[in-house]
Amino acid sequence: MQLTLRHTLRLSLGTPARAVAHVLLTPPSTPQQQVERWSIDMPGIAEAASFRDGFGNRAQLVSLVKPAGELLVVAEGRVKTIDKAGVLGRLQYDPVPALFRRATALTGPDAALLDGLADGPDRIALFHELMGRICERTAGQSQDTAGQSQSQGGDATAADRTHAFLGAARALGAPARYVTGYLLDDGGTAAVHAWAEAWDESLGWIGFDPTLNLCPAESHVRLAAGLDAMSCPPLRTVPVWLDGPAETVEITAG
């Protein structure tokens, strides 16, 4: 599916003499998506240092000298998504999968979620079971992916569910990582989103979206991956912004 995306963040840093921003707003081309064009517009981006971070993501370090009261960041472009039934496989700059067995403060295991589960030969079935359990448990909660603080890449619900998935998968011995990106839902609403990828020895990385109880296909656009929401937010700044950024995402298909 051909998607045209535009992601806008507005934030205020106050009026420091200098600010720096760590930007993870560059979607990679993968078996699931081909990036046809992409650009980030913000003050200082032309002189930014561009590099790979420890998780294999394309990152930019942007400096802002005497930033204006309001900072506007716009990431936009065209991406063709391809349905691979959630299978991402192996990416060139991926670190060793074992790294994503590291437990973090946000990905503590939940005993209730793990009840009766064990790592076995069919890991994919196990991941589906986990995803299903998380959805079932949170069935009463809103699945509305828009409208909440999105500063950590995905609304609180998606982030919490993804962390629950990661904590459980890692506790079972499976590498699993946090993924940030965009989602175009069935109603045509676009949002910043987050989901998980879990490791299978034969297929590589496979996406699991515990918010929607499905494997990401043509409606998900992947930005970056990390250990948890803290390790790969789309934007991080020093000084920290005063108000959570006002964000809008527009996606049009076709």
Partner 1 sequence: MTNVDGSIREPYSILDQWLKQQPAEAMGVMAADAEAIFRRLGITFAVYGSNEGTEKLIPFDIIPRIISAVEWRRLSKAIEQRVRALNAFLHDIYHRQEILRAGRIPEKLILDNSAFCPEMMGLDPARGVYSHIIGVDIVRVGPDDWYVLEDNLRTPSGVSYMLEDREAMLQLAPDLFQRLKVAPVDSYPENLRRTLDSVAPPGASGAPTLAVLTPGIYNSAYFEHSFLADQMGAELCEGQDLFVENGKVFMRTTMGPRRVDVIYRRIDDDYLDPLTFKPDSMLGVPGLFDAYRAGNVTLVNAPGTGIADDKAVYTYVPEIIEFYLGEKPLLKNVPTYNCTRADERAYVLEHIAELVVKEVHGSGGYGMLVGPTSTKEMHDIFREKILARPDNYIVQPTLALSTCPTYVESGVAPRHVDLRPYVLVGDQIRITPGGLTRVALKQGSLVVNSSQGGGTKDTWVLED
Give the shortest CB-138-to-partner 1 separation in angstroms.
27
**Closer by beta carbon to partner 1, 149 or else 189:** 149
Shortest reach from residue 55's CB to partner 1, in Å: 7
Choice between 44 and 89, CB closer to partner 1: 44
* CB contact set of 166 (below 8 Å; sequence gap of 6+): 107, 176, 177, 178, 196, 228
Using the minimum distance from each CB to partner 1, give the nearer residue, 101 or 220: 101
Cα pseudo-dihedral 225, 181, 7, 246, rounded to 10: -80
Strands 190-200 and 71-81: unpaired
Q: Considering the complex, what minimum distance in angstroms separates the CB of residue 155 from partner 1? A: 21
Q: Which is nearer to partner 1, 157 or 180 (CB)?
A: 180
Residues 4 and 251: beta-carbon distance below 8 Å: yes
Residue 109: strand, helix, or coil: coil
- Residues near partner 1 (CB under 8 A) are 18-20, 22, 44, 47-56, 59, 61, 63, 65, 93, 95-96, 98-99, 101-103, 227, 231, 236-238, 240
Q: How far is the CB of 54 from partner 1 (least distance, A)?
A: 4
Q: Residue 79: which of 26, 145, 144 has the closest Cα?
A: 26
Residue 96: partners with Cβ closer than 8 Å, 6 or more residues away = none
Smallest distance, partner 1 to C-beta of residue 63, A: 5
Nearer to partner 1, 132 or 239 (CB): 239
> How far is residue 4's CA from residue 236's CA, in Å, rounded to a whole number?
24
CA 41 → CA 7, 45, 65, distances in Å?
A: 10, 7, 16
